[in-house]
Structure 1
Amino acid sequence: MPEHEFARMPSWAQAGTLAVVLLLGTVLGFIGTFFHQSLPPIGLIVALGTVGLFLAGLRSWASVRSPAATGALGVAGMSAILSLPVGGTVLVPANAVGLAWTFGVALIALVVIAWPDPARLSRLRAVTMEGPAEEKDSTAP
C-alpha cells in the first residue's frame, strides 16, 4: 500500500504544510468573497469552482483529510470575517448570490472532506473484482 507524500512527512513538515494551506485558503476566501458578487452568476460560479478545485486537489494529494479541512477552514473563516458589516459596508449581502456563496463553500467543503480516499477505493475495487488471494485453488489444473 503506497503512502502519499503528506503521510511520509515528519510532523514539523506536516504542521508547516497545514499552515501554508491555511494561508492559501484564507487568500482564496478573501478573493472569492470580493469576486463572487461581480458579474452574477459568473463570478459566483468561478469563485465556487476555484474553491472546489482547491479543496479537491488537496484531498486527492493527501491520504488524510486534514489538508482539505484546513484549506476549507481558511476559506470559510475569511468569508465569515468579511461578511461582518464594517463601517456600513456589506461585502456579502443577503441576496441569492451572497447566500449561495456562504452555503456553497460549506457544501463543497462537506462533500470534499467526506469523500473517501480514491486510492483506497481502487484497492478495494481490485480485491472485490479479483477475489482474495487465499480463495484461489492451487491444486486445480
Structure 2
Amino acid sequence: MQRLSAGAIGSAVAALLLGVLVGALGTVLHRSIPPWGIIVCLTLAFVAAVTVRAWTGYAALAGYALGLVVTVQLLTQRGPGGDTLAPDQQAVGWVWVLGSIAVTVVAALLPRALFDDRPRAPRTPAVDPPS
C-alpha cells in the first residue's frame, strides 16, 4: 500500500487534472468522426488510465477516475439553451459515458505484474533426468 505523502498527493492531483482533461476532450470529440471519434476517445481514456496506474498506482488512478467521471457527467448535462454534448437519443453518447468508466475499470483490473519494473530472475533450463 502506498503511503500518504506530499508526492502521493501531488501525483493524485496531477492525475485528477489529467482525468479532467481527458474527460473534456472525449466529451467534446467523441461524435466528431463517426465511428473513429469514439474509438479514439475511448483509446485515449484507456491509455491515460494505464499510464496513471503505471506511474503511481491505485491512489492516482482513483484521482484520474474521479476527474474523468465528474467532468463527463458535468459536460453531458443540458446547457442553458437546451443543447448537450452527448444527446440522450444517440447511442454514441451512451457509449462514451459508460465506455469511459469501463476502460478505467479495465485498467484498474489489469494484473499487477504488468506494472512491475523489477527485473525477473533468469530462468534455469529444465534438465531432463538421465535415462
TM-score, normalised by the number of residues in structure 2 = 0.79
1:35 and 1:77 map into 2 onto residues whose CA distance is: 17
Structure 1: which 4+ aligned runs deviate by more than 6 Å? 120-123
**Residue aligning to 1:85:** 78
User: Offset of 1:118 from its aligned partner?
Assistant: 1.8
The alignment yields a C-alpha RMSD, in angstroms, of 2.5
**Residue aligning to 2:50:** 56
Structure 2 stretches lacking a partner, 5+ long: 125-131
Match of 2:108 among 86, 105, 113: 113
Asked whether the 8 Å contact 2:8–2:59 carries over to 1, the reply is no
**Residue aligning to 2:98:** 103
User: Offset of 1:104 from its aligned partner?
Assistant: 0.3
* Count of equivalent residues: 120
Superposition pairs for residues 1-141 of structure 1, below 5 Å? Answer: 7=2, 11-62=5-56, 64-87=57-80, 88-94=82-88, 95-118=90-113
TM-score, normalised by the number of residues in structure 1 = 0.74
Asked whether the 8 Å contact 2:24–2:72 carries over to 1, the reply is yes
Structure 1 residue matching 2:100: 3-state secondary structure: helix
Q: In structure 2, do the counterparts of structure 1 residues 41 and 59 end up closer, same or farther at CA, with 3 Å as the change threshold?
A: same
Asked whether the 8 Å contact 1:48–1:105 carries over to 2, the reply is yes
Asked whether the 8 Å contact 2:31–2:38 carries over to 1, the reply is yes
* Identity over aligned pairs, percent: 31
Letter in 1 for 2:18: L
